[in-house]
Amino acid sequence: MPFARYDVLGIGNAIVDVIARADEDFLLKQGMHKGRMELIDERRAEAIYDAMGPAVEVSGGSAANTIVGLSSLGARAAFVGKVKDDILGRAFGHDIRSAGVAFDTPPASAGPSTGRCYVLVTPDGERTMNTYLGAAQDLHPDDIDAQTIGASAIIYLEGYLWDPKHAKDAFLKAAKIAHDADRKVALTLSDAFCVDRWRDEFLELMRSRTVDLIFANEAELRSLYQTSDFDAAVKALRADIEVAVVTRSEKGCIVINPEDIEVVPAFPVERVVDTTGAGDLFAAGFLSGVARGADDRTCGRLGAMAAAEVIRHLGARPETSLKDLARENGLVD
Amino acid sequence: MPFARYDVLGIGNAIVDVIARADEDFLLKQGMHKGRMELIDERRAEAIYDAMGPAVEVSGGSAANTIVGLSSLGARAAFVGKVKDDILGRAFGHDIRSAGVAFDTPPASAGPSTGRCYVLVTPDGERTMNTYLGAAQDLHPDDIDAQTIGASAIIYLEGYLWDPKHAKDAFLKAAKIAHDADRKVALTLSDAFCVDRWRDEFLELMRSRTVDLIFANEAELRSLYQTSDFDAAVKALRADIEVAVVTRSEKGCIVINPEDIEVVPAFPVERVVDTTGAGDLFAAGFLSGVARGADDRTCGRLGAMAAAEVIRHLGARPETSLKDLARENGLVD
């Protein structure tokens, strides 16, 4: 493979999280389904904001969180995603760049405002998400720069990209450029309901080898194959893709490759404060291992470690240096 | 005293905190003085933002934090302060109203954007603040509604109000209305350097009985009387005002009234994460006691309890119900 400027380049919806604590009763009254990510329009966004408690604004977005995690792990990372040139868009740009990530997608000067995700965190640490895509809708294939994509060892894409109008085309363009340059393409299935919306297209991405590696949690896997039989789903998955990582919360993860299946335990966490970003940071840890050629087990441990860090506090971005944490845990030299 | 609609009405600079972790080296390079609040212009604000790490946006403002704390303690609370009608201004309004506080000051539709405080939190939990006052500059005497002020048992003012152009006049107007309506006026000295800027005026406020109760920490007290002799400063303070509360970080506080001095210990805190808001929340706890006629010791304990809650996490607003916490600690029925 030619020299890569970036270890991982992520493409995703650029979103600012608006996080508030809420009780189960609030979710019920608002007709929200606990643990789910729901797409909402601007009017609903305003109604939720009016009803919810005092909030904190933190940059988010699934793939963006992963990329920031990768940078914290010492990887060279880049991100492509669309914000508007407004206060939240500038905050998003500041936060991702100051985390060491290359982020050059020009912000939209007109159209909807920067995308927001209203995250309600219940006392058990579970998060329920309501996403107003906003400017993320305006990510176009034109935003995909062939040279940058070709210079990245791994392209990481989120399933959520299937929701905005043109992002799917940006996704496919990037995947083609990457493969033409002999690079790897990874995909996270994002959310069980996202899989439900785009099941056939996701399966086609895997079967056509448009993606080489996928990340899924148990719910997403069940949704993908419409089965509650975990073993059957794993078997089906194995036939459909070269490498897959299935995360299982406190049960850790399994890494599936053509030769075998590696079972990796989770990291212990004293108190779960907010599960937002657990999957995103798992992917960060795992990909940081892949980028430096680590074995499946080490990749899985790095993923578990990064996920454990982010669920200990509010927000989906790491608060400590994951590189230092990986060193303390003997996962990197 | 006539019936009061609000237990406490606060007047202060309406500010959104932009909080990031930083090391001592960063403070040095930026020429910042650890622990201090510095006033900055828009250009400096942008330079600091460009240089600082990934941030979290949380509503702040000293008196506003106190008022939110009071609401969390079950007091009926109101706030007067100026934001602009922009994204951060709307977030400020949302956060304070959804905390149960009455906030009716009309936002500015033109002029500078909503005020921001760039808060750098070092690993020891100490915070260093850089405030761009922005729209807070536009708080005018016209924003003081005589009926609302007259209907509040205690008016709480921050020394920082002396910095914006017209806020001082708003302060004096409110104090006069309050006293004419037989209400109490409380003032926090805010910051040792704020005291340094306005020493003579603050002393005059006390000696003319424009304020009835003041909150000061040790550094502010030393600055007020330009002495390093704590006992001498306390003696001077006693001659200048009816009631004063001096906070001493982990040494607790002393409550000074004409009859005696009550020494109240601090609340134990396992790990200090971010001291932002410690003084603000102390005032909230103390005033909640005053509002319900508690003795000095109970007021001091309530202050210590509220301060202990807020330094356990990032941001200057309480994350748990202070009323529940006060109940658990046997400080309210």
- Domains observed in chain B: 6-13+62-107+137-328 (3.40.1190.20)
Residues present in chain A in total: 333
Amino acid, single-letter form, for residue B29: K
Work out the pLDDT band at B228, boundaries 50, 70, 90.
Answer: very high
Q: B55, A95: Cβ pair inside 8 Å?
A: yes
- CA pair distance B155, B325, nearest whole angstrom: 25
On chain B, the residues whose CB falls within 8 A of the CB of A21 are: 319
- CA pair distance A40, A13, nearest whole angstrom: 14
Task: Extract the residue ranges of chain A whose pLDDT is less than 70.
Answer: 1-2
Which residues, at least 6 apart from A316, have a Cβ–Cβ distance to it below 8 Å? A17, A58, A60, A65, A276, A277, A280, A281, A310
Work out the pLDDT band at B2, boundaries 50, 70, 90.
Answer: low
Q: B58, A57: Cβ pair inside 8 Å?
A: yes
Q: B21, A57: Cβ pair inside 8 Å?
A: no
Q: B95, A55: Cβ pair inside 8 Å?
A: yes
Share of chain B above pLDDT 90, in %: 94
For residue A165, the model assigns a pLDDT of 85
Share of chain A above pLDDT 70, in %: 99
On chain A, the residues whose CB falls within 8 A of the CB of B87 are: 86-88, 113
Distance of CA A92 to the CA centre of its chain: 16
B63: which 2 tokens? 């008196």
Q: A58, B56: Cβ pair inside 8 Å?
A: yes
Which residues, at least 6 apart from A28, have a Cβ–Cβ distance to it below 8 Å? none
For residue B288, the model assigns a pLDDT of 97
For residue A1, the model assigns a pLDDT of 56
CA–CA min distance A212, chain B (Å): 32
> What is the biggest distance separating any 2 CA atoms in chain A, rounded to whole angstroms?
55
On chain B, the residues whose CB falls within 8 A of the CB of A58 are: 56-57
Chain B residue closest to A55 (CA)?
A: B95
CA–CA min distance A318, chain B (Å): 10
The predicted-structure confidence for B268-320, as pLDDT tens digits, reads as follows 998 899 999 999 999 999 999 999 999 999 999 999 999 999 999 889 999 88
On chain B, the residues whose CB falls within 8 A of the CB of A49 are: 94
Chain B residue closest to A51 (CA)?
A: B98
On chain A, the residues whose CB falls within 8 A of the CB of B94 are: 49-50, 54-55
Place of tokens 């003319």: B208
- CA pair distance A201, B180, nearest whole angstrom: 72
Task: Identify which of B56, B87, B319 has the shortest CB distance to residue A86.
Answer: B87
For residue B270, the model assigns a pLDDT of 86
Is the Cβ–Cβ distance between B72 and B79 less than 8 Å? no
CA–CA min distance B32, chain A (Å): 19
Residues B45-50, mean pLDDT to the nearest whole number? 97
Task: Identify which of A52, A91, A96 has the shortest CB distance to residue B98.
Answer: A52
The predicted-structure confidence for B15-43, as pLDDT tens digits, reads as follows 999 999 999 999 999 999 999 999 999 99
Chain B residue closest to A53 (CA)?
A: B98
Is the Cβ–Cβ distance between B188 and B283 less than 8 Å? yes
Numbered residues of chain B with Cβ closer than 8 Å to any chain A Cβ: 21, 49-50, 52-59, 68, 86-88, 91, 94-96, 98-99, 113, 314-315, 317, 319
Numbered residues of chain A with Cβ closer than 8 Å to any chain B Cβ: 21, 49-50, 52-59, 68, 86-88, 91, 94-96, 98-99, 113, 314-315, 317, 319
- CA pair distance A210, A157, nearest whole angstrom: 11
On chain B, the residues whose CB falls within 8 A of the CB of A86 are: 87
Q: B68, A54: Cβ pair inside 8 Å?
A: yes
Is residue B102 pLDDT above 80, yes or no? yes
A34: which 2 tokens? 């606990």
Is the Cβ–Cβ distance between B210 and B175 less than 8 Å? yes
For residue B1, the model assigns a pLDDT of 57
